[in-house]
Amino acid sequence: MKLEDCKVDGSKKFKLSDHPTSAKVPKAERPAYEAETAQNNKRMSDLQERLYADGREGVVILLQAMDAAGKDSTIAHVMSGVNPQGVGVTSFKVPSKVEAGHDYFWRANVALPQRGYIEIFNRSYYEDVLVVRVDGLWHGYDMPKRCLDMDEQEFFDMRFEQIRNYEKALYQNGYRLIKIMLNVSRKEQKERFLARIDEPAKNWKFSAGDLGPRSKWPQYMAAFEDAIGKTSTPESPWYVIPADQKWYARALVSELVVKVLEEINPQFPEISDEDRAVMMKCREQLMAE
Ligand code: ADP
């Protein structure tokens, strides 16, 4: 399977079931994939330094997934490839009172990186078309009638349009979005939940509440399918990454991040003749010591 097979750019109708949760790579190939990830991380480190020095483009790596799909470990891996000074992580939890008092892009805006930086969104405003849809939370919003007086499809189609416009505006203002869905199977999620229950060192990762979304799996998959299908564009494509084999998913994600950074092609700033002359003077001074 290639990274391109995971890409969804809106050029054809999107069906989640066309995207496997596992590439079924033989286990024996795991070391080769891990070596590839390490290689990609090295490349990422070099590119990030350039991105920072160049300072013209901001990068958002946005992760959405069902629980236990591997968001946290993916983030840890991406982070291990970059200089912590240029990267941040923002986790989007149940909105606080202040957050809920604003429009749903507000907290994402606050979290946007400066140009030259990378910000990882652990969940995002896409929760506002996923959990908010599946749990019907939008019915309880404190908003005027004109914002809510419509049926579900109309309401979320309106949000998809808002998201497309938002992401387009970001792109036009010097941002790149890398949108990733870690596509885990219901069967694999069960195995990972059981491991969280059975292994003491993993107990802290388990919450009984996680079984709620699991019990609404088909509704979540339908919400993901609609959201991904309607917010994929050539500038802001989605990548649906098979996540049942974590090491395989990490290799693809690292390849993707490198690919996008290479597309940005950040350059070290050119030094002006004047600045070079000053530098040469400093050099002479140092050599004379
Ligand atoms: P994670 O599972 O990402 O490690 P948590 O267990 O704290 O972190 O989960 C965050 C929870 O916040 C998720 O259940 C998610 O659906 C919920 N959430 C995030 N954004 C929103 C939102 N806009 N409205 C309602 N719930 C949200």
The 10s digit of each residue's pLDDT in 188-212 is 999 999 999 999 999 999 999 999 9
Task: State the DSSP string of 147-191.
Answer: HH-S-HHHHHHHHHHHHHHHHHHHHHTTEEEEEEEEE--HHHHHH
Does the beta carbon of 66 lie inside 6 Å of ligand 1? no
**Residues 264-273, mean pLDDT to the nearest whole number:** 94
Does the beta carbon of 236 lie inside 6 Å of ligand 1? no
Tell me, letter by letter, the H, E, C secondary structure of 49-103. HHHHHHCCCEEEEEEEECCCCCHHHHHHHHHHCCCHHHEEEEECCCCCHHHHCCC
* Dist. CA 283 → ligand 1 center (Å): 54
79: confidence class by pLDDT, cuts 50, 70, 90: confident
* Dist. CA 262 → ligand 1 center (Å): 32
* Dist. CA 282 → ligand 1 center (Å): 54
179 forms bridges with which residues in the sheet? 62, 238
Q: Do the beta carbons of residue 276 and residue 62 sit within 8 Å? A: no
Q: Which of 233, 220, 202 is nearest to 73 (CA)?
A: 202
| DSSP label of 120 | E
Q: Do the beta carbons of residue 240 and residue 181 sit within 8 Å? A: yes
* Dist. CA 202 → ligand 1 center (Å): 19
CATH superfamily of 3-288: P-loop containing nucleotide triphosphate hydrolases (3.40.50.300)
Model confidence over 222-254: pLDDT tens digits? 999 999 999 999 999 999 999 999 999 999 999
Does the beta carbon of 130 lie inside 6 Å of ligand 1? no
Helix axes 71-80, 246-264, angle to 10 degrees: 50
Is the pLDDT score of 78 beyond 90? Answer: no
Is the pLDDT score of 44 beyond 90? Answer: yes
69: confidence class by pLDDT, cuts 50, 70, 90: very high
Does the beta carbon of 36 lie inside 6 Å of ligand 1? no
How is residue 3 written in tokens?
């990274």
**Residues 47-73, mean pLDDT to the nearest whole number:** 97
| C-alpha 263, offset from chain centre | 17
- Alpha carbon of 287 to those of 119, 168, 169, 274, 280: distances in Å? 42, 52, 51, 20, 10
Q: Which amino acid is at 199?
A: E
How many CA atoms lie less than 13 Å away from 218 in the CB half-sphere?
0
Model's pTM, two decimal places? 0.96
**Residues 105-116, mean pLDDT to the nearest whole number:** 97
* Dist. CA 66 → ligand 1 center (Å): 10
How is residue 55 written in tokens?
């300072």
Residue with CA at minimum distance from ligand 1 atom 27? 94
Residue 224, exposed/middle/buried by CB under 10 A (0-12, 13-18, 19+)? buried
Contacts 24+ apart (CB under 8 A), 258-262: 258/40, 258/43, 258/44, 258/47, 259/3, 260/59, 260/176, 260/178, 261/44, 261/47, 261/48, 261/51, 261/59, 262/47
The residue ranges of every structural domain in the chain are 3-288
